[in-house]
């Protein structure tokens, strides 16, 4: 490893994460990753039962191999890299996975899928898993902050492109990589960074996105463990990740504040759609509760968004639930109609409902640079008699400023997990996650995520 004075970003990050232990991660980070672990397991369990989740699970088993890591919501195990791939897809299949504070990426599909698969293969403890999750999330966020918003604006998907680095670091921690080997894992992760935003349609394309990131992270860590070396300048080098993927990078964000405790802020989704749409849903629900507008008397709906997101999520005629989850027009309409925006609302029955179709048609989006945040939203509902109802939301439900409580996260988990594994196993998973740093091996936790076939348990 290079001398400190000339150390590359990968060098410095590798040393930083090599020093991170279950005893040195902050209480704030520990709480954040425990809350996210429960949320992730519920989302992945429900996602495993979708068409995209089932196909990914079947793919993971198709080629055989050693049964090393659990397929969440399935009935078997697959090689670790394949399990990570399938679980990442499952956990991204219902649009209820977590989000960072800038709404650029999801931590858990690449990082948690890779870490759980690696931990189970290694026979790791819950305490070791928590440290690896904290390290992986920090690595992913550092890369995103160095690359965004330019990365997004160049049509790259931050979840896999940044997530592969976090997945590699998390797996490397669990497999005991030295600092030198961790540098190589980071370099090899960069060689696999990929993912584009061309998925706003009726296909399953978006669900696939985090799978290669999770699998690539395990591949990078495993090769590094075996002695395969990676490039230490992969992040900030003249032909590195930031140069290739961004126009306006900020390399200082890669290593800013390495000597101080890292605050890991993770936000959670109460609605089953793309996170930047949540502000509009909150506006719609506020107007619905406060003003009780008759849907048939609404003449127009104007949604003003910050220019950062104003031209995204525009689709007045989604053709599948996949597309509806990326449609602000559909989300606003269904929230006004049903007072909810969960997976049940993003359904075929609503795609062609005349009332919802009309509301989508009369909804327009405009940019307003005066709004304070990138995801800020102001909605004005104009009635046929001229009355106007307005609401503005800068911080959506589930954000750091308007958080979901532990009870709300547990209720979300149970609603998603119990139909797949049964109420008894779901309750036991809640208890195990609560005390995971004091519990046994990660494999014992993952055994509870297997689908139950017995009568009365599904």
Rounded Cα gap, residues 361 and 391, in angstroms: 20
Tell me the pLDDT band of 451, cut-offs 50, 70 and 90: confident
Mean per-residue pLDDT of the chain:
94
pLDDT of 43 over the 90 cut: yes
Which one, of 238, 261, 255, lies nearest residue 12 by Cα? 255
pLDDT of 454 over the 90 cut: no
- Compute how many other C-beta atoms are within 10 angstroms of the C-beta atom of residue 405: 8
Q: Are 349 and 285 in contact (CB under 8 A)?
A: no
pLDDT of 422 over the 80 cut: yes
Looking at residues 349-363, what average pLDDT do you find? Answer: 95
Which one, of 288, 458, 245, lies nearest residue 450 by Cα? 458
Within 8 A by CB and 6+ apart from 400, the residues are: 101, 265, 267
Looking at residues 94-111, what average pLDDT do you find? Answer: 94
Looking at residues 72-90, what average pLDDT do you find? Answer: 97
How many residues in the chain?
458
Rounded Cα gap, residues 244 and 274, in angstroms: 26
Which one, of 216, 199, 217, 200, lies nearest residue 208 by Cα? 199
Rounded Cα gap, residues 170 and 20, in angstroms: 11
pTM of the prediction?
0.91
pLDDT at 452: 76
- Report the percentage of the chain scoring pLDDT > 70: 98
pLDDT at 150: 97
Q: For 377-398, how does the pLDDT look when each residue is reduced to its tens digit (9 = 90+)?
A: 999 999 999 999 999 999 999 9
Q: For 245-262, how does the pLDDT look when each residue is reduced to its tens digit (9 = 90+)?
A: 999 999 999 999 998 999
pLDDT of 453 over the 70 cut: no
Looking at residues 55-83, what average pLDDT do you find? Answer: 96
Q: Which domains does the chain have, with CATH numbers?
A: 4-254 (1.10.4100.10), 275-393 (3.30.1330.120)
Tell me the pLDDT band of 34, cut-offs 50, 70 and 90: very high
Q: For 281-309, how does the pLDDT look when each residue is reduced to its tens digit (9 = 90+)?
A: 999 999 999 999 999 999 999 999 999 88
């Amino acid at each position: 490893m290079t001398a400190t004075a000339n150390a590359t970003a990968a060098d410095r990050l590798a040393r930083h994460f090599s020093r991170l232990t279950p005893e040195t991660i902050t209480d704030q980070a520990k709480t954040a990753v425990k809350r996210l672990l429960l949320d992730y397991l519920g989302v992945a369990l429900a996602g495993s039962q979708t068409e995209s989740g089932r196909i990914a699970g079947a793919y993971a088993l198709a080629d055989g191999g050693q049964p090393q890591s659990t397929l969440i919501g399935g009935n078997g195990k697959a090689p670790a890299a394949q399990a990570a791939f399938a679980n990442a897809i499952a956990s991204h299949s219902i649009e209820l996975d977590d989000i960072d504070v800038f709404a650029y990426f999801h931590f858990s599909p690449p990082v948690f899928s890779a870490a759980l698969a690696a931990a189970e293969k290694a026979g790791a403890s819950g305490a070791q898993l928590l440290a690896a999750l904290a390290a992986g999330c920090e690595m992913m966020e550092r890369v995103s902050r160095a690359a965004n918003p330019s990365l997004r604006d160049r049509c790259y998907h931050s979840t896999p492109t940044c997530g592969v680095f976090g997945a590699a670091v998390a797996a490397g921690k669990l497999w005991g990589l030295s600092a030198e080997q961790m540098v190589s894992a980071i370099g090899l992760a960069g060689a696999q960074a990929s993912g584009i935003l061309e998925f706003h349609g009726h296909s399953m394309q978006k669900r696939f996105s985090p799978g290669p990131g999770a699998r690539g992270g395990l591949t990078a860590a495993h090769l590094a463990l075996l002695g395969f070396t990676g490039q230490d300048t992969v992040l900030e080098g003249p032909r590195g990740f930031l140069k290739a993927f961004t126009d306006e990078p900020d390399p200082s964000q890669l290593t800013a504040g390495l000597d101080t405790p890292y605050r890991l802020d993770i936000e959670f989704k109460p609605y089953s759609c793309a996170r930047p749409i949540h502000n509009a849903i909150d506006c719609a629900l506020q107007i619905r509760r406060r003003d009780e507008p008759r849907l048939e008397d609404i003449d127009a709906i104007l949604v003003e968004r910050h220019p950062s997101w104003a031209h995204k999520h525009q689709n007045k005629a989604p053709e599948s639930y996949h597309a509806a989850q990326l449609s602000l027009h559909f989300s606003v309409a269904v929230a006004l109609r049903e007072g909810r925006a969960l997976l049940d609302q993003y359904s075929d029955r609503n795609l062609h409902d005349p009332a919802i179709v009309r509301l989508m048609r009369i909804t327009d989006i405009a940019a307003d640079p005066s709004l304070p945040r990138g995801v800020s939203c102001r909605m004005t509902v104009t009635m046929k008699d001229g009355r106007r109802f307005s609401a503005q939301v800068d911080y959506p439900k589930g954000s750091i400023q308007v958080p979901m409580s532990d009870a709300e996260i547990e209720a979300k988990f149970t609603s998603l997990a119990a139909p797949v594994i049964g109420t008894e196993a779901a309750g036991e998973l809640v208890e195990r996650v609560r005390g995971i740093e004091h519990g046994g091996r990660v494999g014992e936790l993952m055994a509870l995520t297997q689908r139950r076939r017995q009568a009365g348990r599904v």
